[in-house]
Amino acid sequence: MCRLAAYCGPSIPLKNIVTSPVHSLLKQSSGATKSLVSVNGDGFGICWYGAEKEPGLYRDVLPAWSDQNLSSVCRLIESGLFMAHVRASTHGETSRSNCHPFVHKHWAFMHNGQIPHIGRVQRDVESELSDALYHHRQGTTDSELFFLLLLNSGFEDDPIHAWKTAYERIAQHHSADDEPIRMTCVLSDGNLTFAFRQSSDQNSPSLFQSRQLDNGGHALASEPLDRLSTNWQAIPENHYCILNDDGVEQHELH
C-alpha cells in the first residue's frame, strides 16, 4: 500500500511535512510502520497550490529516497495547501503518468488502496465518462479512473453524494471471490481538502489527522509524522473529513 500526506494552513515549505519530520513521508517511503508493505518505492509525487487555480505538479518514477531534486524542491517551495504521495503499486506499471497525485484542472487526487476487480468494470466505467474526462486520462491505474469517475459523478457540486455514487458504482460488481476494495482517498480543489476511508472489509489503509500544528495549520497523513501519538487522531473507517484553514471536520459516511 502507498503512503500519503496533505497540509492546509499558513504557507510553509513543503519540507515541513514531506522531508523534515522524524517520520516524514520521505521516511515512510522506506520505513512505513502501519502497512503490510514497509517500502513504497514505485514512484512519488507532490502537488501544491499557489497564485493560480491549477496546482503545480512534480512526479517521478524513482523511489522518493533516490530523487536528488526532492529535498531542494521541498525546501524552496512554500504553499498553504499541498499534497504528497509515495507509491507501492497494486495496478498499473511504474510510469510517471501512474504516479499520484493526479490533477484535472483545479482538482488534485491521491489514493491509497485497491480496486481489485477494476479490469472487469473498466470498460463500462470509461464509457460513462464525459469526453473531456475520458480523453484527460493519461495512465492505467485504478486510482486515476476512480478520480475521473468522482468528477463525472458531480464531485464539484456535491462531494459526498458523488463519493457515494462512485463507490457504489465500483462496489456493485465486486464479488466475494475478489480481494477487498480498499479506499483511502484525498482530494482538493485548492480551497477545501476532502479525505475518505471506505472499504468492503472494514480495513481501509490508515489515515490520521493532526491536532493543530504550531503554526495553526493542520495535516493529514497515512502515519503520524512525529513520535507523539497525542498529536494525531485516527480517522475511523466509513468516515470522511474536510480540511480547511479553520481546521478539520469529521463525519460518518451513511
CATH number of domain containing 108 = 3.60.20.10
Give residue 40's pLDDT.
84
Q: What integer best gives the mean pLDDT of the chain?
A: 95
Whole-number percent of the chain with pLDDT over 70 = 98
44-79 as b/e, with b when 16 or more CB fall inside 10 Å?
Answer: bbbbbbbeeeebeebbebbbbbebeebbebbeebbb
Cβ neighbours of residue 210 under 8 Å, at least 6 residues apart?
218, 219, 220, 221, 224, 225, 231, 232, 233
Give residue 227's pLDDT.
84
Contact 150, 162 (CB under 8 A): yes
- Is the pLDDT score of 94 beyond 90? no
Band (36; pLDDT cuts 50, 70, 90): confident
Band (89; pLDDT cuts 50, 70, 90): low
Q: Tens digit of pLDDT for each residue in 105-164?
A: 999 999 999 999 999 999 999 999 999 999 999 999 999 999 999 999 999 999 999 999
Calculate mean pLDDT across residues 36-43: 84
**Domain, as residue range, for 196:** 3-252
Number of domains in the chain: 1
Least confidently predicted of 87-96, 202-211, 229-238, 240-249:
87-96
The span from the CA of 185 to the CA of 43, in Å, is 18
115-139 as b/e, with b when 16 or more CB fall inside 10 Å?
Answer: bbbbeebeeebeeebeeebeebbeb
Q: State yes or no: cis peptide before 224, omega within 30 of 0.
A: no
Calculate mean pLDDT across residues 74-79: 98
pTM: 0.95
